[in-house]
Amino acid sequence: MGSSSGGGGGGKKKYSTFRNRQRASLSFFIVVMFFSVFGLIVFTEIFFIDERGRAAGVVLRRGSLTIQRKRDKSSDYDDGFQSEDYISIRVGAAMMNDDALGALLMGGRPPVALPVIERSAPSPPKVFAENQLPPYPENATVNEGGWQNVNNTRYKFFVFSAFYDDRKGQRIIRVIGATKTRGAERVWCRLWYKTGDSNSTGHVSVTVPAKFKVIRENWNLKYSACFVMCPLTNKTIPGAVSVVAKVRDPPANLLLVINNRNETGGIPAGTDTSQHKFGVCVKPLHFDYNRALQIVEFVEFNRILGVEHFTFYNHTIGDQVNCLLKDYADKGLVTVLPWSLNMVSQKEIRTEGLFAALNDCLYRSMYKYSHLLLIDLDEFILPKFNDTLSQMMSHLSRRLNSRTHGSYSFQNGFFYLQFDDDDSIFDFDDPVAANLITLRKTRRKTKLHPHKQRSKYICRPELTIEAGNHFVWEFIPGHGTLNVPSDTAILHHYRICEFGGDDCIKDSSTVDRTAYRFKDDLVQAVRSTYYRNKGKCALPELVLPSGKVLNKLMHFLKPNANR
């Protein structure tokens, strides 16, 4: 009895110790799990810091936890920046929200400004009354694009432009800016509304804490392009916005809110070519850019392909190109925005803050152009068989059902300038034709780069949220990229060997004379613009390439000269 009860008690005891042990091992397991996850994260962080000093691009994205390193030789961006380690860390967002994750990754520091992590300032402790804050900056010029300072910040903080954006189920004013890549300061938006009184020029403000998002492509430099997002509190769209570091700071900037959207809304991008409208965006022109013939060839060739408008950014431009661009601007074909960003290019921010320019152009073009080409002056997206970009787009939407795609990627093909000129150049007696790069250089490296490496794209601005250099980083959910087959079109890229020297021309190459399909139109258009502006803009006389006579002779002496 005693034994049985004892046994029973022992059984109970055993059972409960078993349960205790089970509980203990369960908590042990949880602790181990916690530490391994924590350790992994700490490891990731160490990795992170290690790489930080070494010009590594760090990209944080939602997704599963993977760390991938690859040597990306191809990510060099044409002016001296060559191979770099490229690290992308994807972190599971399922486990915790971005801020908690950010805090862990930053080793307990405040979760600020990790790439892609959105955050907002704490909800406004309503300690201020709007009418007691500094007034509308009457004396600041309302600016629809131009770098202005945000005063009273510890690090540089500039804003360039502001756009109304009501996509993705939110209504915000999206400001394009540039500031610290990590640990950007919290800022406020002063949204300015004209007062109802029609006689008055007065403004009232609504002041809201801004959300902040760093633009992903930052090359791990100290400063990055960014989005400052101001949530709207009612249905009225404000006329202007100022970004301030402290609510009581007198606003040092004033941006016009650009809203291209109208009641009819978006621009169709289906097969009906009459509805397509193409725009081009070019990163800031710098180094006193002054290649007159290049810019005329670029604009005229793209016009032949159906482009209606070009947006350029003026960092530093030489006299001839200045004059040409003013002529184009007078015709409404070109917009040139000032670009004096007070940051050291390549040391503080990537190439004059080009990602701010590309995204400014994206939002500026939205609802005005159905398709946007984000390309450089030495790059041309040339359809192989179609006469215009519009025909090509219709063809793609029929053949590949691409109507819902947000962007179209074109593989890069290098036409190295060190390759010999096209043979036919020697037959041209026309100095215009003989000097056009797309006609002179017809030999290209046979191997095209894969998509996303040096590729360029045409995007549909309404479906795009964040534009990158070689691909779109973020679409409206449900849209993606179509990789355009190389038999439809490729990116013709005219440049010198990308790793210095002349060795690149030893790569296997092919002759690609696609540009010759447009030769007559191109030569005529370039000639007309060039000579119309030659006097006014003091453009140099075009001459046949030097040594042409000798070259021509050599050309006929060449055994394979069969022309």
Ligand X SMILES: *[C@@H]1O[C@H](CO)[C@@H](O)[C@H](O)[C@H]1NC(C)=O
Residues within the interface to ligand X (CB under 6 A): 138-139, 149, 151, 193, 197, 199, 204, 206, 234-236, 250, 252, 262, 264, 267, 314, 317, 322, 325-326, 336, 338, 385-386, 391-392, 395, 488
Tell me phi and psi for residue 324, to 5 degrees: -65, -45
Q: Quick one: tokens of 143?
A: 């600016």
User: Measured between alpha carbons, how far is 83 from 68 in angstroms, rounded to an integer?
Assistant: 16
DSSP E strand stretches across 322-364: 334-338
User: Measured between alpha carbons, how far is 512 from 61 in angstroms, rounded to an integer?
Assistant: 39
Q: How far is the CB of 264 from ligand X (least distance, A)?
A: 4
Q: How far is the CB of 318 from ligand X (least distance, A)?
A: 10
Q: How far is the CB of 207 from ligand X (least distance, A)?
A: 11
Q: Quick one: tokens of 393?
A: 């787009």
3-state helix, strand, coil in the chain (%, to 5): 30, 25, 45
Position 244, amino acid: V
Q: Where do we find the tokens 């007696």? A: 429
Residue 222 near residue 237 (C-beta atoms within 8 A): no
Q: 156 or 326: whose CB is closer to ligand X?
A: 326
Would you call 7 helix, strand, or coil by DSSP?
helix
Q: How far is the CB of 365 from ligand X (least distance, A)?
A: 12
Q: How far is the CB of 252 from ligand X (least distance, A)?
A: 4
Using CA of residue 345, residue 351, residue 356, residue 361, what is the dihedral sign? positive
User: 468 in the Ramachandran plot: left (φ > 0), alpha (ψ -120 to 50) or beta?
Assistant: beta
Q: 460 or 548: whose CB is closer to ligand X?
A: 460
Q: 218 or 386: whose CB is closer to ligand X?
A: 386
Q: 187 or 504: whose CB is closer to ligand X?
A: 187
Q: 197 or 429: whose CB is closer to ligand X?
A: 197
Q: 58 or 393: whose CB is closer to ligand X?
A: 393
Would you call 288 helix, strand, or coil by DSSP?
coil
Residue 306 near residue 388 (C-beta atoms within 8 A): yes
Q: How far is the CB of 310 from ligand X (least distance, A)?
A: 12
Q: What is the largest CA-CA distance in the chain?
A: 122
Q: 119 or 180: whose CB is closer to ligand X?
A: 180
Task: Report H helices in 58-194.
Answer: 98-105
Measured at the alpha carbon of residue 421, what is the angle toward residues 416 and 424, in degrees to the nearest 5?
140
Q: 14 or 513: whose CB is closer to ligand X?
A: 513
Q: How far is the CB of 388 from ligand X (least distance, A)?
A: 8
Q: How far is the CB of 440 from ligand X (least distance, A)?
A: 25
Q: 167 or 552: whose CB is closer to ligand X?
A: 167
Q: 3 or 141: whose CB is closer to ligand X?
A: 141
Q: How far is the CB of 338 from ligand X (least distance, A)?
A: 6
What angle separates helix 292-304 from helix 319-330, to the nearest 10 degrees?
A: 30
Residue 310 near residue 334 (C-beta atoms within 8 A): yes
Position 464, amino acid: T
User: Measured between alpha carbons, how far is 120 from 166 in angstroms, rounded to an integer?
Assistant: 18
Q: How far is the CB of 525 from ligand X (least distance, A)?
A: 20
